[in-house]
Amino acid sequence: MTAFDVAAAADENLAVHFTWVQRQTAGMRSVLEDDLVRTECGMDCDTFNAVCRARLERTGAARRIGEAISWFSGRPFSWWVGPADGPEDLGRRLEDAGLAAAETELAMAARLSALRAADTPDGLEIRRVRTPSEMSDFARVNAANWTPPDQAVVRFYELAAPLLLATGSPIRLYVGYADGEAVAAAELTVAGGVAGLYGISTLAPHRRRGHGTAMTLRPLLDARAEGLGLAVLQASAAGAGVYRRVGFEEFGGITEYKPEAKRGRT
């Protein structure tokens, strides 16, 4: 695959990550069009309100951007721009429409056949989420990425649980337990012909113990066992080293844009 092909597959994966729950849950909504994907979770939470996979024509791009922004009716949201998005000056056009770049991360990919193994830290048990109790543990770890913990995240996973626990869900969740306590989490989305990793996180008191590496590898090994060949993810500059050590390489960047008044939340 070329770098553009990888970026396009990553966008398809991201679209499923953002919309699969929302398009099937009462009170949530998604619009998947050839040139744009929009999704909204029914709450003021830009973790789950998003725009992605833009394939806008230069003529008419301003109109489509305006329509997308208006669609959220003032709710906070994030617009993700990656290497395959268009037009090429989409970022500037979003800024002209009143959005601002909140952060830029590395877009990375790895061949699953070339993963570099690492030992699971002593005392860490990684489980794929199969029960409502494990789902609650996953939600609590994710919510702790914010201070104070984001209760909208907890509520989202409460509403999403029936779908995410069902056989055939393309979104698989994992929790890491240390001495019986949920301390780490990760998501694997299978879509676009690739395995997408999202939301790898560890509670602050348990960091720098190898949990993040272990939570990266376990979902990828499961994806490889299913026959998938490529994995993609987004990484901060600070976290990229972890992913490089297990075999990921950069293929571009992805920037998150937000309405100016909503930039305080990620």
Domain ranges in the chain are: 3-105+253-262, 112-252
DSSP result, 57-117: -STTHHHHHHHHHHHTTT---EEEE-TT-BSTTHHHHHHHTTEEEEEEEEEEEEEGGG---
- pLDDT tens-digit series, residues 50-80: 999 999 999 999 999 999 999 999 999 999 9
In degrees and rounded to multiples of 5, residue 101 shows phi and psi of: -65, 120
CATH topology of domain 112-252: Aminopeptidase (3.40.630)
Q: Give CA–CA dist 25/162, Å, rounded.
A: 10
Residue 238 has pLDDT above 90, yes or no: no
Is 254 within 8 Å of 232 (Cβ atoms)? no
Q: Strands of the chain (E only): list them.
A: 29-33, 36-40, 50-52, 78-81, 99-111, 124-128, 171-178, 181-191, 194-202, 230-235, 249-259
Residue 262 has pLDDT above 60, yes or no: no
- pLDDT tens-digit series, residues 187-214: 999 999 999 999 999 999 898 888 999 9
